[in-house]
Amino acid sequence: MKINNICCIGAGYVGGPTMAVIALKCPDINVIVVDKNEDKIKAWNSDDVNQIPVFEPGLKEIIEKVRDKNLFFSTDIKEAIEKSEMIFLAVNTPTKTNGQGKGMAADLTNIENSAREIAKFANNNKIVVEKSTLPVRTAEKLKEILEESSNKISFQVLSNPEFLAEGTAIKDLFNSDRVLVGGDQTKEGKKAIDALVDIYKNWIPEKKILRSNVWSAELSKLASNAMLAQRISSINSLSAVCAKTGADILEVSKAVGADSRIGNSFLQPSVGFGGSCFQKDILNLVYLSKINGLPEVAEYWHQVVKINNYQRKRFVNLILEKFENNIFNKTISLLGWSYKKDTNDSRESASIYVAEMLLDEGAIIKIYDPKVSNSQILKDIENILILKDINAQERTQIMNRVKIYNDVYQSCLNTSAIAILTEWNEFKNLDWLLIQEKMTDSYLIIDGRFIIPRNKLPKKLNLISI
């Protein structure tokens, strides 16, 4: 079955880059990316490619090549569904904030709404591809919704989870370690799997394309994220042991990672993992384990998230200790807001939690990030204060203690401490002598990313790492 037209519902961090790469690698396929968010689609269509809503190295160059040739961004979901033989779902699936499974299970409202739209507008047989990260057996539910209102139209549901990491999305999509395609093990299901595999074969070597049943594909995605995050929490838990014993976590990480059975990736200690997915997907796995009567398994994975929360808190405690537990009215600069370098995404960034804890202690904070917009930073802080049930008047008072800068040196002016929260390359080569001159007292640099070279710092500065 040759696919000529595809569409993707959801023009976010996954939908945008994945469809751009498919359009680039498959010039004979027409790709439409649709979203209900009009502003986002406008931004994707903006004449100035620097204004596209996702910052990813290499993405804007691809957009320049393929946009309006075989890649289109639109809000017309009906037309996109009608035209396409294959429909990807790359909508967000956040943690539920109410109802059954609140705070744990994935909220599938966007997935279900998309399925209803497909059922409503589909005029012929469709292959529906889950790109979003979903709990095991979502495909079953999707099929039910699709088949509820459609007469004589047949749907095949595939699971094709996305493994790209932000900041390296284009590289990851060009050279994926593996592409996973799960589908029904029936004749029709296998035909649908082949149709999707044929698309990937345009640039991914066939030996890297794994076929499986739908449930395995869905679970493999949760399992991969859980195991990656588990390594970070493992090394971070050991960083706490290092702080108590005098061992050096970088030396421990190097020694452990040198064992080829363990490997050295995802062993970088940090202020804690962030991003929209690790915590969400682990909590989802915890919930799945619980409802399947596996409390020990649920608790095992829950610890990964608990250690991450602990690490953020430990970071703030390290600052507090240096100020004898009193940072009231102290000015602290936070360098980096995104959850990792090379992305403008700040979802679940450790910086949000660190900022909130510092503000709670009465500190004044000055923030600098090279890519996250000032309005997003303010929104992130406001949102966490709302989540903590802080009333509007108090919120305004707290927000008055937040200042955002577009120049890193300005953000360090008159500060007592500087916290490094994101590993942006530009922080590796700062003029520390200039920064020292701008600081007022204490001269504390607390590095949550291990990027500040100890031996290059002027004498007055006092560097500690997480």
CA distance 233 to 300: 12
Helices 214-245 and 138-148, axial angle in degrees (round to 10): 140
3-class DSSP assignment, residue 447: strand
Kindly tell me which residue out of 7, 10, 193, 356 binds ligand NAD, with binding defined by CB under 6 A: 10
318's enclosing H/E stretch is helix 295-322
Residues 231-250 touching ligand UGA, rule: CB under 6 A, are 232
Choose the contact partner of 66 out of ligand UGA, ligand NAD, none; CB within 5 to 8 A by kind.
none
Choose the contact partner of 182 out of ligand NAD, ligand UGA, none; CB within 5 to 8 A by kind.
none
Contact partners, residue 152, CB within 8 Å, separation at least 6: none
Choose the contact partner of 93 out of ligand UGA, ligand NAD, none; CB within 5 to 8 A by kind.
ligand NAD
CA distance 382 to 172: 33
Kindly tell me which residue out of 339, 353, 368, 443 binds ligand UGA, with binding defined by CB under 6 A: 339
Phi, psi (degrees; rounded to nearest 5) at 450: 55, 45
DSSP letters for 115-154:
HHHHHHH--S-EEEEE-S---TTHHHHHHHHHHHS-SS--
Residue 274: CB atoms within 10 A of its CB come to 25
User: In the complex with ligand UGA, which residue's Cβ is closer, 195 or 372?
Assistant: 372
Shortest spacing between CB 92 and ligand NAD, in angstroms? 4
Kindly tell me which residue out of 8, 14, 129, 192 binds ligand NAD, with binding defined by CB under 6 A: 14
Kindly tell me which residue out of 312, 340, 347, 366 binds ligand UGA, with binding defined by CB under 6 A: 340
Residues 21-40 touching ligand NAD, rule: CB under 6 A, are 35-37, 40
User: In the complex with ligand NAD, which residue's Cβ is closer, 43 or 464?
Assistant: 43
Catalytic residue (choose from 7, 8, 26, 277) = 277
Residues 266-325 touching ligand NAD, rule: CB under 6 A, are 276-277
User: In the complex with ligand NAD, which residue's Cβ is closer, 113 or 216?
Assistant: 113
CA distance 254 to 264: 7
Kindly tell me which residue out of 30, 114, 132, 270 binds ligand UGA, with binding defined by CB under 6 A: 270
CA distance 222 to 239: 26
Q: How many residues does the chain have?
A: 466
Instruction: Write out the two tokens for 444.
Output: 């504390």
Phi, psi (degrees; rounded to nearest 5) at 226: -65, -40
Shortest spacing between CB 292 and ligand NAD, in angstroms? 21
Shortest spacing between CB 303 and ligand NAD, in angstroms? 21
Choose the contact partner of 107 out of ligand NAD, ligand UGA, none; CB within 5 to 8 A by kind.
none
User: In the complex with ligand UGA, which residue's Cβ is closer, 13 or 155?
Assistant: 13
| 277 classed as catalytic | yes
x/- letters, 123..162, toward ligand NAD (CB under 6 A): ---------xx----------------------------x
Among 72, 7, 9, 6, which residue's Cα sits nearest to residue 35? 9
Choose the contact partner of 232 out of ligand NAD, ligand UGA, none; CB within 5 to 8 A by kind.
ligand UGA
Taking phi over 0 as left and psi of -120 to 50 as alpha, with beta for the rest, 93 belongs to: beta
Contact in structure between 438 and 413 (CB atoms under 8 Å): yes
User: In the complex with ligand UGA, which residue's Cβ is closer, 84 or 230?
Assistant: 230
Contact status: 446 vs ligand UGA (CB under 6 A): no
Residue with tokens 């450790």: 350
x/- letters, 127..166, toward ligand UGA (CB under 6 A): ------x----------------------------xxxxx
Shortest spacing between CB 81 and ligand NAD, in angstroms? 11
Residues 160-199 touching ligand UGA, rule: CB under 6 A, are 162-166
Kindly tell me which residue out of 110, 279, 351, 465 binds ligand NAD, with binding defined by CB under 6 A: 110
Report which DSSP code applies to 100. T
CA distance 400 to 396: 6
Report which DSSP code applies to 49. G
Kindly tell me which residue out of 6, 7, 13, 446 binds ligand NAD, with binding defined by CB under 6 A: 13
User: In the complex with ligand UGA, which residue's Cβ is closer, 29 or 111?
Assistant: 111
Instruction: Write out the two tokens for 67.
Output: 């946009």
CA distance 257 to 289: 30
Q: Which stretch binds ligand UGA (CB under 6 A): 3-11, 268-276, 384-392, 424-432?
A: 268-276
CA distance 333 to 345: 20
CA distance 190 to 204: 19
Among 187, 172, 207, 237, which residue's Cα sits nearest to residue 466? 237
365's enclosing H/E stretch is strand 364-368
Contact in structure between 218 and 131 (CB atoms under 8 Å): no
Kindly tell me which residue out of 6, 8, 11, 466 binds ligand NAD, with binding defined by CB under 6 A: 11
Residues classed as catalytic: 277
Positions in the binding site for ligand UGA (CB under 6 A) = 133, 162-166, 225, 228, 232, 266-268, 270, 273-275, 277-278, 339-340
Positions in the binding site for ligand NAD (CB under 6 A) = 9-15, 35-37, 40, 90-93, 110, 113-114, 132-133, 162, 164, 166, 276-277
